[in-house]
Amino acid sequence: MKKALIPITAALLVFFMLSNSVSAGIIQYYATRFQGSASGWCWIFTEMPLPGVMPSAHGKGRFDIRGLAIVREDTGTYWANTTDPNTNIWIYRTQMRVTWGSNACVVHLWSSDQMWGIFADDGDYFVISNMSFAGWYKEELASLHFISGTAMMWLAPSGPPGEEVFVAIIGLFIEPEHFLTFAWVTEEIEGYPRGYLARSISHRVTVWPIEWPPSVPI
């Protein structure tokens, strides 16, 4: 496990844990720092990118995310979701800008109360869902208009075992309906359009245990 020493951040995370703990027993929690980005060519899906669904267009753009989380461990990965109110995820400096043809989409993303995430420091990958977003969308000759909703982000390997390709995916949903999905890949995938590879995908996850203070006898 990679370790990091960030005294101020660690102190704040410990304070959060102590002030929100509802259990008499000590459960091991971890602090997580994560960041990722993708730039260059990407695919655009107007339908949910399920198996067999092809992209409707390709464009160019960039996506960036940074954040911190309080997580619990489970079989080699770490998670945060609403089933444990002591876990949490904070994202910042998170945005996406993509253009294709006469279309453009620019959004900023931030934390919501319903966010959940899975993080792995072995492989430096993570998935986060139920982020909030707002921004602007322009479709061909239509006027620029405001959009908002929820988003999911996948910065992790994808594909059958042994054939995984690392991908960066941003899915935008307006209320319950899928709006657009943007996918960056750095390797050719059989059956998908060739030649539209991202310039780069970066990803980093650092996890370290939260040190609980020793108990004081009463």
- pLDDT score, position 25: 62
Most confident of 47-56, 96-105, 155-164: 96-105
Instruction: Note whether 125 and 35 are within 8 A (CB).
Output: no
For the residues of 49-80, what is the DSSP string, one character each?
Answer: --TTPPPSEEEEEEEEEEEEEEEEEETTEEEE
Looking at the chain, how many residues does it have?
A: 218
pLDDT in tens, 117-136: 999 999 999 999 999 999 99
pLDDT in tens, 67-115: 999 999 998 899 999 999 999 999 999 999 999 999 999 999 999 999 9
Chain CA centroid to CA 50, Å = 19
CA geometry: angle at 201 spanning 158 and 31, to 5°?
80
- pLDDT score, position 217: 54
Secondary structure of residue 17 in the 3-state scheme: helix
Helices (H), the chain: 7-20
pTM for the full predicted model: 0.84
Q: Is 11 left (phi over 0), alpha (psi -120 to 50) or beta?
A: alpha
Amino acid at 63: F
The sign of the dihedral angle between the CA atoms of 185, 63, 6, 128 is: negative
